[in-house]
Structure 1
Amino acid sequence: MSVIADRLKNVSISASAAMTQRARELAAKGIKVVSLSSGEPDFPTPAHAIEAAHAAALAGDTKYPPMDGTPALKSAIIRKFKRDNNLDYDASQIVVSGGGKQVIFNAMLATCNPGDEVVIPTPSWVSYADIVKFAGGVPVAVPCHEQAGFKLHPEDLEAAITPRTKWLFLNFPNNPTGAACSRAEMAAIAEVMLRHPNVWIMTDDIYEHLVYDDFQFCTIAEVEPRLYDRVLTMNGVSKAYAMTGWRLGFCAGPKELISVVSNVNGQNGGGIATLTQAAATAALDGPQDLLKERAAIYKERRDFVLDRLSEVDGLRCHKPEGAFYIYPNISGLIGKTSKGGRKIETDVDFVTALVEEHHVATVQGAAYGMSPFFRISYATSMEKLGEGCARIAQFCRDMR
């Protein structure tokens, strides 16, 4: 009898984490690797957030925390939702967890029965489908095509919903494409969901503050208040405030749902470190100017990468509205052979050859459910982006 549980048979290792690990292995051998695989801001955590954690430690705030979040942090989250999204919640509608991934994990464990379907617009973050499967659900991919700007079409959404559909996941701005939904596009999605009152909606808004070219972010419960009572709105401090290592995410929703998510959260984590919660409180309540300042830097990086990769034969790049990713189409390179003799038949072949031959780490589109593409993260310095783009261009030019 195997010690490994059956539930893990269909759960895969994160492709982005695997590529990041490969880059580290090459670097350990003395190879200079340009890593464009990790979706992690290269900015520091805001100083006032660090100071708040330090002050909490000095004050002795190091005991067990409340299972679902400290009162101070919950209050800051309530203010954030009102300030940024015009959404009203009270403390009983908020749960704090160990990052956005744990929020989603807890929600699926709390609500999914075997065979329940979860509609996921695709390309999508690598963990969504695996979390659903772990909870006993069935992920249902709805393609968001490149020619449509990687947006979710209402007709495609309607066709994907069945009597077994339990959830719809939304993630705009999107990982890996950077596509975002305008208010009109979100309203069209909401119109479909109003026709399906038994389907819940989980919206992952972690890239909310990373939008460019005067694009206005919106979230579905704000756009269509009639959906408020069946929307779980997830967010966190990792991307906007460069606090990935602090591990804190949060969600808000109807009390009925939050109650069961909180129950799972209490058994699954036992509360988030008090110092992390103090830092997050300071980040959410403190000066917000840095959000626009950093978004302007990301926009400059996006444009830099687009300008360089758009000149490369065989690559086709969609201009993203948000997040910090570009998702180039490599269909023009499929069937070719790299200078190192590797046949490029899939996007897995492409990223493997790229990291082994030119030492640039990226992630294959197959990991996100749509090929042939690869994901580049521009959450790094202009120097690294310049070197990475130059190596990618040379890699593509050398193919025969």
Structure 2
Amino acid sequence: MPRPPELSARAVGLKPSLTLAIGAQAKALQQAGRDICSLSAGEPDFDTPDFIVEATRQALRDGITRYGPAAGDPELRAAVAEKLSSGNGIAITPEQVLITNGGKQAIYNLFQVLLNPDDEVLLPAPYWLSYPEMAALAGAKVKLIPTQAEEGFRLDLAAVEAAISPRSRLLLLNSPGNPTGRVMKRQELEDVAELVRRHPQLLVMSDEIYEFLLAEGEQHHSFAAIAPDLADRCFTVNGFAKGWAMTGWRLGYLAGHQDVIKAAAALQSQSTSNVCSFAQRGALAAIQGPRACVSAMAESYNRRRQLLTEGLQAIEGITLVEPRGAFYAFPQLPESAGGSMDFCSRALEQAGLAVVPGLAFGNDRCIRLSCAVSRETIRDGLSRLTQLLDET
């Protein structure tokens, strides 16, 4: 049998998304007849609002099915710029916006055009699992800034400053956060801005994909709005997947310095070209339309997040930083539970419970659970988790 072609070093070192893998494994077991309760979902369980779907249908009827500008539909870029300017307080022009195939491509493109081999990315942990993989694909090195459940996963700015070297290029922020559900307060972001001002070589990427999914009483603050004097060094990533339940539409955006956006658009022109032309009309309808649907979904998540939080807090031995945004909880397991990979494997095999190991997010003591499922599924998952820990 002939040997397969040798893979590149970057392909060999690349790890597939563990969240997607676990979700696929859970679905396969369900299809095989197993009783599976999955709390691994990383996407809304709502349908895309009808007015967005109808706008997309109309675009198809209008023949908007051809190639478009690589950087995105001009009307959508202008609408995103208006949303960021009036809604988030970030002074931005359409030329500073790139429409991408999901928020993930926005991050990937940014890393590719900003990072050189051996540049350092400062990454608070826990983190969204794709950040380090995309940094590695750009040739950069990741410096982790650990945060602790016992300290509320609060970012230790002294630790950030201690990690900064002449090679440090990019600091990553994510609020509301995946996997912790943590929302950064205004004062904390102002303190981060003061640190960045002391290090002129340092750029900041703020991933704000969960901005609309906030617990009652919480407020989202865009980093670029907090520090307008750092506008040329701030890059905002966002999209339509979470707030409007448009995960499969693959619609995101990147905003920041015009020269960087131009370079990222050139990269996109040589990789994927434009985002689906008629889908962009759906995004335009979303961003210009009423937000009642977004608020209704957020309120539903709030109720379910509270149910998940209270259930986890009632389980002996678990340490939980109460999630205040997104639709996840990231409880720390008792030491007797062992590492997160082994625990999640046992959970699936013994209890039919699909949850995501915290090791994928940089913390092997924790697991990630989603509340983007029915209340019945949450209760079922909590029951299975309790029983499994009782038997550990």
Smaller-chain TM-score range? over 0.9
Q: CA deviation at 1:291?
A: 2.1
Give the partner amino acid of 1:309.
Answer: L
TM superposition outliers: structure 1 runs of 4+ over 4 Å: none
Measure how far apart 1:151 and its partner are.
2.0
Fraction of identical pairs, as percent: 35
Q: Which residue of 2 aligns with 1:155?
A: 158
Displacement of 1:85 in angstroms is 0.5
Cross-structure match for 2:381 = 388
Who is 2:351 aligned against? 358
Asked if the contact 2:330/2:369 (under 8 Å) is kept, the reply is: yes
Map of 1:1-400 to 2, 5 A cutoff? Answer: 2-334=5-337, 345-399=338-392
Contact 1:78 1:90 in 2 (8 A): yes
Q: Which amino acid aligns with 1:221?
A: A
Q: Alpha-carbon deviations, 1:189-208, whole Å to 9, x = none?
A: 11100111111111100011
After superposing the two structures, state which structure 1 stretch, 291-300 or 44-53, moved more.
291-300
Alignment gaps of 5+ in structure 2: none
CA shift at 1:390, angstroms? 1.2
Is the Cα contact below 8 Å between 1:119 and 1:140 reproduced in 2? yes
Which letter maps to 2:209?
Answer: I
**Residue deviations 1:15-72, cap 9 Å, x none?**
1111112102211211121111121000111111100000000011111011011011
| Whole-angstrom CA distance in 2 between matches of 1:333 and 1:290 | 43
**In 1, are the aligned partners of 2:203 and 2:234 still within 8 Å (CA)?**
yes
Q: Is the contact made by 1:97 and 1:269 (CA closer than 8 Å) also made in structure 2?
A: no
Q: Which moved more, 1:230-239 or 1:310-319?
A: 310-319
* Equivalent pair of 2:123/2:142 in contact (CA under 8 Å): yes
Q: Which amino acid aligns with 2:46?
A: F
Distance in 1, Cα, partners of 2:387 & 2:257: 52
Alpha-carbon deviation of 1:371?
Answer: 2.1
Distance 1:214 1:268 in 2: 42
Count of aligned pairs between the two proteins: 389
Q: Decide which moves more: 85-94 or 202-211.
A: 85-94
8 Å contact 2:149–2:320 — kept in the other structure?
A: no
Residue 332 of structure 1, CA deviation: 4.0
Alpha-carbon contact 1:313-1:332 (below 8 Å) kept: no
Structure 1 residue 2: deviation in Å?
4.3
Q: Which amino acid aligns with 1:23?
A: A
Does the CA contact (< 8 Å) of 1:167 and 1:202 recur in 2? yes
- Cα drift, residue 300 of structure 1: 0.7
Partner of 1:202, secondary structure, is strand
TM-score computed with the length of structure 2 as normaliser: 0.97
Most deviating of 146-155 and 266-275: 146-155
* 3-state SS in 2 of match to 1:375: strand
SS in 2 for 1:232: strand
Kept in 2: contact 1:169–1:201 (CA 8 A): yes
Alpha-carbon separation, structure 2, partners of 1:2 and 1:113: 27
Q: TM-score, normalised by structure 1?
A: 0.95
Partner AA of 2:349 in structure 1: E
Please report how far the alpha carbon of residue 294 of structure 1 lies from its aligned counterpart in structure 2 after TM superposition. 1.6
Q: Which amino acid is 2:361 matched to? A: Y
8 Å CA contact retained: 2:335, 2:365: no
3-state SS of 2:13 partner: coil
